[in-house]
Chain A
Amino acid sequence: MFDRIKTFAAGDNLPRFVILVFYLLILLVAFFLNQSIGVLISDTLIRYGMNGILVLSMVPAIQAGTGPNFGLPIGAIGGLLGMLISMEFIPQTIAGHQWIGLLVAILVAIVFGIFFGWLYGLLLNRVKGSEMVIATYTAFSFVAMMCIAWLVLPFQNKSMKWPIGQGLKNTITMENTYGGLLNDFLSLKFVENHLTGKLELVFNRSNSWVIENYGIESALKFQFPTGMILVFLLACYLVYLFINSKTGVAMRAVGDNPSFAVASGLNVNRSRLIGVILSTVLAAVGIVIYSQGFGYMQLYNAPQQMAFGAVAAILIGGASAQKAKISHVIIGTFLFNGILVAGLPVANQLVEGGGLSDVFRVIITYGVILYALTKIGGKSNA
C-alpha cells in the first residue's frame, strides 16, 4: 500500500497528491474545530459547478499546443457582453422568462467567444513558443481596454448603470434575472424553517418535505446544486465528443507534435485556431454559469485574475502545460475549490486577523502555476 502511494505521488502526480493530502488535513482540522462539514462540502460543490466550465476551457487550448489558456479573461468578457445584452433586451420578471434570459446570454456569449477567439487565435499563431506570456498580457490589455468600453457602451437598463454619471456598475446584481437559476434547478437543499424550527428538504426550489430534527442539523445544512453540475457535465461531454472527432484528433496531433502534423498533411494553424476559439467560447459560457451561481456579474478589473485560478485547478488535476484531459478538469476543479472553501474558515479560526485566507489562496494558485511552468521543456528532453 505504501509503495503504491509512493509510486502515485512520484513525478507528475506530486502536486495532485500534496493537495489531496492537504485537503484531507484541512477537513480533519475543520471537523475538530466544529465547522459544519455539510456546509463545507455543499459550498465546495457550488464553487465546483461555478468554476467547472472555466477550468474546462483550458483543455482545447492545451491540447492544441497553445498552452494553458491564460487568455481566459478575453472569453470572459465575451460572456459578460452576452449577459449584459440579455439583461438589456430580455425582460425577466416572469419566472419562465429567466430561462430565456439565460439562454440568450449563453448564445450571445458564444457568438462573442467565437469572434474574440478567432482574433486571439490569429495572434497566438504569430507568436508560437511564447503563447503563455503573450496570452497573459493580451488578456490584461483587453481587460483594461474594456474598462473604457463599460463606461461608454450605450446600455440603458437602469439596474445596470450607476445611479448618477455615465457607465455600467462595477457589480451588477442578477437577483431579478437568472441569478441562481441553475443552482436551484432540480437541487436538493436542507433548510431550517424559521417558523417551525424544523429542518426541511427542499427540491427544485418548491417541493419540500419536513424532516424530523435529529439534532444533527449543523452537519446537515447541505445542498446539492444539481442544475449547475449537470450543465458542467454536459459541457464536459460535448468537449469529449469534440476531441474524439476527426477535427479533435487532428487538433491533438498538432498539439503533441506540430512537425508530425505537417507530415501527416494537417493544417497546424487551422487546428490551433480551432482550439483557441473553442477555449474562448467555453470561457465565455463559463463566466455566464459562474455569474449566475455567484448572483452578480462583475465588470471592470474583475476578469483580470480569472485565468489563474482555472489554470491552477487543471494543473492540480494532473494536467501539464502540454497535456490535459477532461478527467484532470473534473479532479482538479474539485480539489482546488475544496481547499479554498475549507481552508478559508479554518484559517480564519486558527489565526486571528482577516486576510490570511486570501494570502493562502494566492500562494496555492501561483505556487501550482509556477511548479507547472518549471516542468515545461521536460518534453523536449525526454
Chain B
Amino acid sequence: MYVLEMKDISKEYFGNRVLKNVNLNVKPGEIHALLGENGAGKSTLMNILFGMSVIHSTGGFEGEVLIDSAPVNIMSPHQAMDHGIGMVHQEFMLIPGFTISENIKLNRELLKANPVSAVIDLVAKDNKLSTVDVAANARDARVALDKLDMGIDEFTLVSGLPVGHMQFVEIAREIDKEGLKVLVFDEPTAVLTESEALNLMEAMKKLAAQGIGILFITHRLDEVIHCADRVTILRDGEWVATKDKVDTNVVELAELMVGRKVEILPKAPREGVGDEIILSLNKLSVDMPGEKVKGVSLDVKRGEILGIGGLAGQGKIGIANGIMGLYPTRGEILFQGKPLKLNQPKATLDDGIAFVSEDRRGIGLLLDSSIEDNIAVTTMQTKNDFLKSWGPFKLQDKEKIRQHAESMIKEYDIRCIGPHQYTKRLSGGNQQKVCLARAVTLAPDLLLVSEPTRGIDIGAKKLVLDNLLKLNEEGMTIIMTSSELAELRSIADRIAIISDGKLAGILDPTAPDADFGLMMAGNLKGGEDV
C-alpha cells in the first residue's frame, strides 16, 4: 500500500553517524511532509533515495528502500528516475537561454529522422543525429503545463520568468517523465513569495489527486498544516515521529523539531553585564546573497554573550557580515555611542570590533600562509603592531610574531607541527582556533563569531566554546551566530532569533523548546522582551 518505503536507514560519514534507523513511508496520492532543522538528516536521506555518489563513495548505507513493495538498489540519480522518483530542486536546474518546452524535454526529446541520421542509423542505430521534433515536444510540454494549470506559452524563454514560474517549469519537467510515482520537493517555498507558495501548494494537491506520492521537505510549520496529509519529523539524524496532520498542531511540531538535545546548566546570574549598551543596530539591512537581512533593530549590552539563531538562509549570518561591512549594508550602527561607518571593514576594525567568519577557508584564513602570519597579519595591518624599524623601512618583526604565535598555540591548544605550519594543513577545529586567535590578537571590545563550531569535532568544539566563555569573563562582549541552538543555549545570555531577515524575538536560553521552534519557523513573534 506504500509507493515508497525507506526502512531502518542508517548512514555513517567517516565514523560520524548522521542517520540512525530512520523510517519513512509515502502512500500514493498523499502529501507527506519531512520536517527537521538544518542538519537533522533530511538531505542525507534524500541523497540515499537518489543514489547520489556522495553516499556510495563513502561506504553506502544500511537499511532498505522499497518501491511498490519491491526492494530496489538505487546507485545513481538516473536509476532513481527510472524507478519513477522525481525531484524538484531548491536551486533551479534550468537552462535560462532555452524555452520552457526545451527545458522540459531536455535529453528526452521526441525525434524524427532526417536524411543524414537515416544513413548513419543504418550503422549506429542510436538516433543521436535525428532532428528534434519541436512541435511534438511542445505538445508534450503543453500537456504537462496544463496539468499544473499554467497558461504560459511553452515557447517562452526561461530566462525572463519570475521565480515562481521557474519552479513550475521544474515540476512540469518531472511530471512529463513517464511512470512518475514519487515527487520530492526540496524546500520549494524557500525562494517563493507567499502567494507563489500558495499556488505551489495547490499544484501539489492537484498532483497528489492524480495518484502521485509527494514528499515535501520543509521547515515551515504552517505549510505542513496547510497542505500535508502526514508528517515525519527527524532530529539529529533520528526518526522522532510520524503523525497524521489531523492529530497534531503547530506547537507540537515545533517542540518535536527542536527537542532538547543537551542538558542546559542553569547559569549563575552574570556579573559584569550591566545595562550599558555597547552596540545598537537600527534598521540594519544587509544584502548578503542567501542570507539577506531586512531591517533588524537590536541592542547588545556590554559584557554579555548574545546568541543569534535561526534557520539557514533566514539572515542570521548576514548580521555579523553587515556589521563588518563585508556586504552592502544600510541602516545605522551605533558602537560605543558613536555611529560606525558602514561598508568599511577597516573602520570597523579600527573601532575595536573583530570578526571570526563563518566561512573559515574562504574568508577566515590565509591557507597558503603560516599559522603565525595568519595570527599576526590583521593586527599588523590595522594597529601597526608586530613591526620594527630598519632604517627608513618598517619590517615585520618576525621574532615578536613567532613569540606571540607560540603563546597563542599554547593558550588555544592548536595542534600543529609549529608556528610555521601552513594553515591549510590543519584540521577544521585547529583552523578555527587560529581564526579565533587572530581575532583575539586584535584585542577587540566586541567579538563577532559566526558558526564557530561548524564542521569541527566535538573535542575542538568544547575548547572553542570554553575559550569564548573565558574571553567573555575577561570582559569581552561577544555576539555569537550559530545554527546549533543547543550550543547557543549553553553559553549565551540572550538569544535573538532571526526569521525571514527580521528579528523574530529575543529569548532566554531557558525558554521552552516550543518557543524556539515556533519562532525559528516564523510562527511566533515577540517573545520575552529583554
Contacts and interface: CB of A to CB of B under 8 A. Distances in A.
B377 interface: yes
Given A256-B367, A260-B366, A263-B355, A246 B384 contact: yes
A265 interface: yes
Interface in A215-246: 241, 244-246
Contacts of A246: 380-381, 384, 387, 394, 396
Given A241-B390, A246-B384, A263-B355, A382 B367 contact: yes
B362 A259 contact: yes
A263 B435 CA distance: 12
Interface stretch (B233-241, B343-351, B510-518): B343-351
Contacts of B357: 263
Interface in B340-397: 344-350, 355, 357, 359, 362-369, 373, 377-378, 380-382, 384, 387, 390, 393-396
Contacts, number: 78
A249 B396 contact: yes
Interface string A266-289: 110000000000000000000000
Interface in B135-151: none
Contact of A264 (B347, B381, B394, B395): B381
Contacts of B382: 264-265
Contacts of A189: none
B377 A257 contact: no
Contacts of A265: 344-350, 378, 381-382
B424 interface: yes
B326 interface: yes
Contacts of A244: 395-396, 398
Interface in A89-145: none
Contacts of A252: 369
Nearest to B401: A249
A322 B362 CA distance: 16
A253 B438 CA distance: 14
Interface string A326-350: 0000000000000000000000000
Nearest to B362: A259
B394 A245 contact: yes
A250 interface: yes
Contacts of A262: 326, 345, 363
Interface string B308-348: 00000000000000001010000000000000000011111
Interface in A142-197: none
B366 A266 contact: no
A327 to B, nearest CB: 15
B369 to A, nearest CB: 6
A323 interface: yes
A263 B363 CA distance: 7
Give the one of A246, A257, A263 with max B CB within 10 A: A263
A379 interface: yes
Given A241-B393, A265-B345, A265-B348, A260 B381 contact: no
A257 B424 CA distance: 12
Given A264-B349, A265-B382, A241 B365 contact: no
29 contacts: A241-B395, A244-B398, A245-B393, A245-B395, A245-B396, A246-B394, A246-B396, A249-B377, A250-B381, A253-B366, A253-B369, A253-B381, A256-B369, A257-B363, A257-B367, A259-B362, A260-B363, A260-B366, A263-B324, A264-B381, A265-B344, A265-B345, A265-B346, A265-B347, A265-B381, A265-B382, A266-B346, A267-B346, A323-B368
Given A250-B381, A253-B377, 17 more contacts: A241-B393, A244-B396, A244-B398, A245-B393, A245-B395, A246-B381, A249-B377, A249-B381, A253-B369, A253-B381, A260-B366, A263-B324, A264-B345, A265-B349, A265-B378, A266-B346, A379-B367
Interface of A: 241, 244-246, 249-250, 252-253, 256-257, 259-260, 262-267, 322-323, 379, 382
